[in-house]
Amino acid sequence: MLQVWGRETSSNVQAVMWCIGELGLDYQRYDFGHHFGGLDSDAFYQLNPNRTIPVLQDDDHAPLWESGAILRYLASRYAPETFWPEEIFARCEVDRWAEWAKVSVVSLFTQPIFWQLVRTPADERDLPAITRAIDRFESKLAIAD
pLDDT tens across 45-90, in order?
Answer: 999 999 999 999 999 899 999 999 999 999 999 999 999 999 999 9
pLDDT at residue number 145: 86
* Helices marked H in the chain: 11-23, 42-47, 67-78, 88-100, 106-109, 127-142
The string of pLDDT tens digits covering residues 111-120 is 999 999 999 9
**The pTM is what?**
0.84
Strand partners of residue 71: none
**CA–CA separation, 33 and 8 (whole Å):** 10
Domain boundaries, the chain: 2-78, 88-142
| Residue 95 amino acid letter | D
DSSP-derived 3-state class of residue 73: helix
Q: What is the DSSP letter of 62?
A: P
**CA–CA separation, 31 and 1 (whole Å):** 17
pLDDT at residue number 131: 97
Class of domain 2-78: alpha beta
